[in-house]
Chains A and B, each alone.
Chain A
Amino acid sequence: MTTDTLSDPANPLRDPRDRRLPRIAGPCGVVIFGVTGDLARKKLMPAVYDLANRGLLPPGFSLVGFARRDWADQDFAKIVHDAVMEHSRTPFREEVWRQLAQGFRFVPGDFSDDVAFGQLRDTIEELDRERGTAGNHAFYLSIPPRFFPDVIGQLKEHGLAEMQAGSWRRVVVEKPFGHDLASAQELNAIVSEVFPPESVFRIDHYLGKETVQNILALRFANQLFEPIWNSNYVDHVQITMAEDIGIGGRAGYYDGIGAARDVIQNHLLQLMALISMEEPVSFEARSLRIEKQKILTSVRHPARLDLHTARGQYTSGWAGGEKVKGFLDEDDIPRTSKTETFAAIKLEIDTRRWAGVPFYLRHGKRLGRRVTEVAVVFKRAPHLPFTQTATEELGENALVIRVQPDEGVTVRFGSKVPGTAMEIRDVNMDFAYGGAFVESSPEAYERLILDVLLGDPPLFPQHEEVELSWRILDPILDYWAAEDTKPQAYEAGTWGPESAEEMLARDGRTWRRP
């Protein structure tokens, strides 16, 4: 992570003590497949600009677009320009644009088009000559997974994946990494046939978020929390990711995938791993991965999946003051769809630290509000020297890590109500991360793209983790598929179906209202 490991130790201008010098990637370029997609326009292109604006991209950085459009380089530049103007976080500056714009290239073509990939190879070679990208290129696959075999195969066939000595080729793939264990393994087989594991970067943008990284700081940099971070004190953990929007324009992708595959498999299980893992021996990618894998390996399912999982589908209703459509009324969703838009599952972790502590994970669309948080709920005090009436309003202590929006940490505990009588009530102690940052705090994609260019992998899940996550989710998905019923309906704008409430009520608990 420090500058000394990244650069030639012989470089006299580098010094590990010099912590002002930012990490600038070496000469390189990025090729984006699927530049016309939402992700590319809203996230990738603005992130590239923001990185350049902050002086973190190397001189000569080049961006190549590949899509089935009849565009020239200038047309592509125009698209990037518009995307940057609309979505970048840092102010637009002409000189930054000029630095970037000279490195834009566009290659029109189909994923099965040999001529186009030949042209791509020529373009990359030309960039190496003209812009000094030195043979270092990352291929960003911002495309549906069904096209992966084509693209990866073409990259191999045209020699684009071959690394010359002293240069690198990397491939970046977005979630979902498959739709079950078998497909994930298949996908991995395709990618790993062409690229070695350390050259494959699976982007889970959640892991690039400051708050998620802060979980590690909170847990391992403090003495305060570690002693209570176990089953002696923790009653249960709730991990919630709620969205207030519906599926919008993602109907084609979403139908058949559903909430569990879309979010629980990656984001929520990763959050769970970070919250529950043991202390890694160091913050190197390998050590972090080992600890996460240990946790994912020791996850146990509840014996009765019917009682401890829930799924739902939103119906039309009023959400946030607007009348919204139900899932089955959304465009391009068949009326008979059994895809769930809400999923909640209970998991247990068979380790000494967590034995008997349930982890409740839930995710849904069109819920009450947009929020992602991890709530560690503590046991009640074993003995209360107060009367029953004094503690009637006292709940359980909780430590809540708010991931988005309004990033921060909340601690919830009992406090005396001012007055002569002894009465105890819950209060919140709040810590808020700074809201709009001056310059430093990078957006998740910026951080991740920079890490790809630097070849720094701590935040990227490797295929073992992905496969372990599927091993956890597959039995539940299979059970739901075997049940072959429609998910329970819930009205848009509420906190999910009744079965989710019942699922916790069985354990004598309730969901937090986030």
Chain B
Amino acid sequence: MGIELTNTNASKIASALLTERRKAGSPAMGMVMTFVVVTDEGDHYEALRAARDVSREHPSRVLGVIRGSGRGPARLDADVEMGEGGSQVLLRMSGELAKHPESVVLPLLLPDSPVVCWWPGKAPQDPQQDPLGSLAQRRITDTAALARGRTSAMVTQAHNYADDNTDLSWTRLTPWRALLAAALDQYPARVRGGQVAAEKSNPSADLLVAWLSKRLKVPIDRVTSKGPGITSVSLMTGGGEINISRPDGRLAQFSIPNAPNRPVALKRRDLAELLAEELRRLDPDDIYQETVTTLCRIADKNGIRRTQAAKKAARAPQATAAVSISDATLIAGKATQRERRAAAADTKGTSSAAKKTSAKRNARKRSATKRTSAKATGKS
């Protein structure tokens, strides 16, 4: 099945895609988007399988991008396959090419249709500035997938929010939010305070706290539990407590004042389901934007500050995949945001061409800063 291409280029890949389609009897292709998955050798199988599953609901061309070592000569290998719903290409880049993945991806994008970029693991701190991210109309990160530093990674993404950025931690919340909204439908009372209990370092819980406090305009406490994920949410009202608790990650107890307790299935959804929800709408998510703005404010209030050195370190955007996000990124995100605001003020009215050149210049500057900053953090 499929065509394997070694040491190839984008136009050979494009013609392989055509050959594969012909081989399948030129089936109708209702592909609605290009789905770029930026991953690494270890995780690509899981991620691409989820992308393929999602192709059934959102038929798409899936481009898996694996950036290998930056050493050695530039090299591109590809696996081209036709799947249910669309086509799939796995791109392995190494050598100098690993720094220029957009040069391979750009010619393979479907004409006219939207591009979605997903980082299943490590993501750039500012996805919109990333060379692949800047090709996309929607950029999906997943801070909860990181092994460490999830909370701060989420805050970083929040600080660097741009229209059409989104994080799967937010998507994971939809069933919780739906249930909480349903609870207030059933028991419409003014909420005086609340509490979210979740395992330590859970970006979804942080977002839920931010969303609730923004919508309800009351302080919401965040307490730590054993997990898994979010274990309970309670809202205090004059007539009693609204509580949804889910100790096992599957079945929740739903209780509101003056009504019997009821069980509700509230499972943790798998990647394909989350992505399917994410891809259903490709316009900016206003509510997410409000929520991350609140999240930034909460993070500030909790006095999360870091040293100057760390600030510098984090300012280096992650042009390559292999930069881990540490707590140091927290403040950095803010710095970048400030910079961006200033930059936006500067460039107002300038042509997009001018913007592009300045972006390029910045990129060059960035890679320079990066080398020094790596030294500064000293692999903390």
Contacts and interface: CB of A to CB of B under 8 A. Distances in A.
A430 interface: yes
A11 B263 contact: no
Contacts of B262: 59-60, 99, 102, 131-132
Interface stretch (B88-96, B138-146, B274-282, B332-340): B274-282
A439 to B, nearest CB: 5
B304 interface: no
Contacts of A27: 186, 259
A8 B188 contact: yes
A434 B178 CA distance: 27
Given A7-B181, A15-B287, A438 B53 contact: yes
Shortest beta-carbon contacts, A-B, top 3? A430-B28, A95-B251, A132-B259
Interface in B59-90: 59, 84-85
Interface stretch (B37-45, B264-272, B294-302): B264-272
B223 interface: no
Contacts of B84: 435-436
B185 A438 contact: no
Contact of A441 (B57, B179, B273): B57
B185 A99 contact: no
Contacts of B251: 95, 98-99
Contact of B265 (A13, A52, A433): A52
15 contacts: A18-B286, A19-B281, A20-B281, A22-B178, A26-B185, A93-B265, A95-B251, A96-B267, A98-B251, A102-B263, A131-B260, A408-B28, A432-B27, A432-B30, A434-B55
Contacts of A15: 215, 287
Interface of B: 27-28, 30, 53-59, 84-85, 171, 174-175, 177-182, 184-186, 188, 191, 212, 215-217, 250-251, 254, 259-260, 262-267, 272-273, 276-277, 280-281, 285-287
B116 to A, nearest CB: 15
A60 B178 CA distance: 15
A383 interface: no
Nearest to A11: B184
A434 B174 contact: no
Contacts of A10: 188
A95 B250 CA distance: 6
A439 B28 contact: no
A129 interface: yes
Given A17-B286, A434-B56, A53 B276 contact: no
Contact of A93 (B178, B263, B267, B287): B267
Contacts, number: 147
A12 interface: yes
A1 to B, nearest CB: 15
Interface class of chain B by DSSP: helix
A59 B215 contact: no
Contacts of A143: none
Given A8-B188, A98-B265, A436-B84, 18 more contacts: A11-B188, A13-B180, A13-B184, A14-B181, A20-B277, A24-B178, A53-B265, A58-B182, A58-B186, A59-B179, A60-B259, A95-B250, A95-B265, A99-B265, A129-B260, A434-B30, A434-B57, A438-B57
B23 to A, nearest CB: 17
A432 B27 CA distance: 9
A498 B191 CA distance: 72
Contacts of A430: 27-28
Contacts of A99: 251, 262-265
A485 interface: no
Contacts of A433: 30
A13 B216 contact: yes
Contact of A438 (B272, B281, B286, B287): B272
Contacts of B277: 20, 440
Contact of A440 (B188, B191, B265, B276): B276
Interface of A: 3, 7-8, 10-15, 17-22, 24, 26-27, 52-53, 55, 58-60, 93-96, 98-99, 102, 129-132, 134, 408, 429-441
B285 A20 contact: yes
A437 B185 contact: no
Contacts of B280: 440
B338 to A, nearest CB: 27
B235 to A, nearest CB: 10
B219 to A, nearest CB: 15
A96 B182 CA distance: 18
Contacts of B217: 12
A99 B286 CA distance: 33
A432 B265 contact: no
Contacts of A93: 250, 265, 267
B271 to A, nearest CB: 10
Contacts of B272: 438-439
A59 B174 CA distance: 16
A60 B263 CA distance: 7
Given A8-B188, A11-B181, A17-B286, A438 B273 contact: yes
A14 B211 CA distance: 11
Contact of B185 (A7, A94, A131, A429): A7
A129 B262 CA distance: 12
Contact of A13 (B177, B254, B286): B177
A102 B261 CA distance: 11
Nearest to B235: A13
Nearest to B212: A13
Contacts of A53: 265
Contacts of B212: 13
A22 B344 CA distance: 36
Contacts of B286: 17-18
Interface centre among B174, B182, B217, B285 (most CB of A within 10 A): B182
B181 A26 contact: no
Contacts of A22: 174, 178
Contacts of A129: 260
Given A13-B177, A17-B287, A26-B186, A436 B28 contact: no
Contact of B273 (A8, A14, A134, A439): A439
A59 B182 contact: yes
B260 A98 contact: no
A131 B28 CA distance: 49
